[in-house]
Chain A
Amino acid sequence: MTPAEIRDEIIDILEDISPDEDLDGLDDQKPFRDQLELDSMDFLDIVMELRKRHRVQIPEEDYGNLASMHSTVTYLEPKMKDI
């Protein structure tokens, strides 16, 4: 997957987790938490959905990399480039 495809996939997951959220104006550089009503349960769901859909394993100590869209895509790029 390319970084753009990974971003689309994250958007798809966020839509799945929180269908009422407006994601069009999402700023990739800003933390998700400042823009969306996501709590720790929702962050767990991003991790779980990535594992379910793509068998991507994210250890708990790496959860901090999922703070913003930009940091998430950067973190996932090497893990998902061969998918």
Chain B
Amino acid sequence: MYDTIIIGAGMSGLAAGIRLAHFDQRVCILERHYTIGGLNSFYRMGGRDYDVGLHAMTNFARKGDKRGPLAKLIRQLRFGWEDFKLAEQIGSSIRFPGVSLDFNNDIEMLESEIASRFPDQIDGFRALCGSLLDYSDMDGGSPEFMRSAREVLAEHLTEPLLIEMLLCPLMWYGNARQDDMDFGQFCIMFRACYLEGFGRPYKGVRVILKNLVRKFRGLGGELKLRHGVSRIHVENGKAVGVVLDDGTEIEGKRILSSAGNIETMRMCDDITTPEVARAGQLSFIESISILDRDPKDLGFDRTIVFYNDSEKFHWRRPDDSLCDARTGVICSPNNYIYDSDEGVLPDGVVRITTLANHDLWCELPEAKYLAEKVTQYDAAVASAVRFMPDFRSNVVATDVFTPKTIRRFTFHDNGAVYGAPDKQLDGCTHLPNLFLCGTDQGFVGIVGAIVSGISMANRHCLMTD
């Protein structure tokens, strides 16, 4: 009998597991996939290391910073700053037709860019910064949280193009809702991206995952890969345990699930037709191009470029096509300021992410699927090189993943990267001892997911034990 069974060995499940194991609970993390990380994973192919998911870690903080989510998670998980050692970004850009805004980890850069490109908007932008909710208001209790971000932005800014440009990176890095954004989520992402900024560990996401697993196992936690949960067994209105894909039953006093809201409901054997929450629709296709040189040698020093090829930013699933490359994110892990003792990355890398339709990708027969990966790679790169130097003659290797790949790694409905648009911020379900963590609970991104795991473990699994 476990004190807590955790479903999913992604960032949130591992973080929750560490908290519980640290305070002497018997904890088991069950993961269906053969590897850890969920949406944020890594692999090796053709002698090279690849990351899935990670472009940048948001919520950058420097050693010794005491405020902000990164400092909080390091304290809560009893890590040292070295365990999360992040190199700072060189600088990123938001590029729309005819106008570009640069930003880095110091908000003054974005402010001065706005002051020079949109001089009559700078006062409004400062007022917007002053109206942001604080992290302590992010439990969903604030009446402002659920307001439309577009509505709040329009109260401060009169230039529609600037509104679209400011929304573009924030939606790309953490908005499960199509077209608009909850103001609370806008504030979380504004702080995470513009006020705190981007960083990356030299060795990528594997460093963070390996540290989480090592800490969890060191505390006596059990991690079982290839152990998919097929059912949550409910008796007399309480979860009593889980049934694995192979029929094995495991008993637990409580269950914390990172499988997603609707996905978790579907597992409960007291629910026949889950309709509790609509699953998210937004999924991506992502390509990795390995170059024969550092991108800086092609004149590209941007850490991230968020581009959009018209004045209006379209943040929704393409309904009639596999992909929508009108907007995208270009990222280069080479363009961080790594310590001199770390050196430079072994390869030049450009990653491009564009919007994609999960259902259409999954309907393709295998041969067509493989052919479309090539076609859509070409289309995404052709779209991106309008906003960066053309690197196509320098590509030595590529890999592409689609919504189908994301679904295979995460088992989330629709391969939805940021989960369902309606979050369950308190983590509660219809059962008194079944709780949610991860993307469908609230915060997204690497730091967000870890904070979600910590806060749900604290609130539901530690204080009541």
Contacts and interface: CB of A to CB of B under 8 A. Distances in A.
Given A37-B66, A37-B67, A44 B75 contact: no
Contact of B75 (A18, A48, A60): A18
B462 interface: yes
Contacts of B66: 18, 20-21, 37
Interface in B67-85: 67, 72, 75-76, 78, 80-81
B458 interface: yes
Given A20-B66, A37-B67, A39-B72, A44 B78 contact: no
A4 interface: no
B64 interface: yes
Nearest to B78: A16
Interface in A15-57: 16-21, 37, 39, 41-42, 44-45, 48, 51-52
Given A37-B66, A39-B72, A48 B462 contact: yes
The listed residue with most B CB atoms (<10 A of its CB), out of A17, A18, A41, A52, is: A41
Given A19-B80, A20-B66, A60-B463, A41 B23 contact: no
B463 A45 contact: no
Contacts of B81: 20
B80 A44 contact: no
B292 interface: no
Interface residues of B, number: 18
A52 B80 contact: no
Nearest to B136: A39
A19 B79 CA distance: 10
Interface residues of A, number: 16
A45 B76 contact: yes
Interface in B32-50: none
B64 A20 contact: yes
Contacts of B75: 17-18, 41-42
A11 to B, nearest CB: 16
Contacts of A45: 76
B319 interface: no
B106 interface: no
A60 B463 CA distance: 9
B64 A41 contact: no
A19 B81 CA distance: 10
Nearest to B451: A41
Given A20-B81, A52-B23, 6 more contacts: A17-B75, A18-B66, A20-B63, A20-B66, A41-B76, A44-B462
Interface of A: 16-21, 37, 39, 41-42, 44-45, 48, 51-52, 60
Interface of B: 22-24, 63-64, 66-67, 72, 75-76, 78, 80-81, 454-455, 458, 462-463
24 contacts: A16-B78, A18-B66, A18-B75, A19-B80, A20-B63, A20-B64, A20-B66, A21-B66, A37-B67, A39-B72, A41-B72, A41-B75, A41-B76, A41-B455, A41-B458, A42-B75, A44-B462, A44-B463, A45-B76, A48-B23, A51-B23, A52-B23, A52-B24, A60-B463
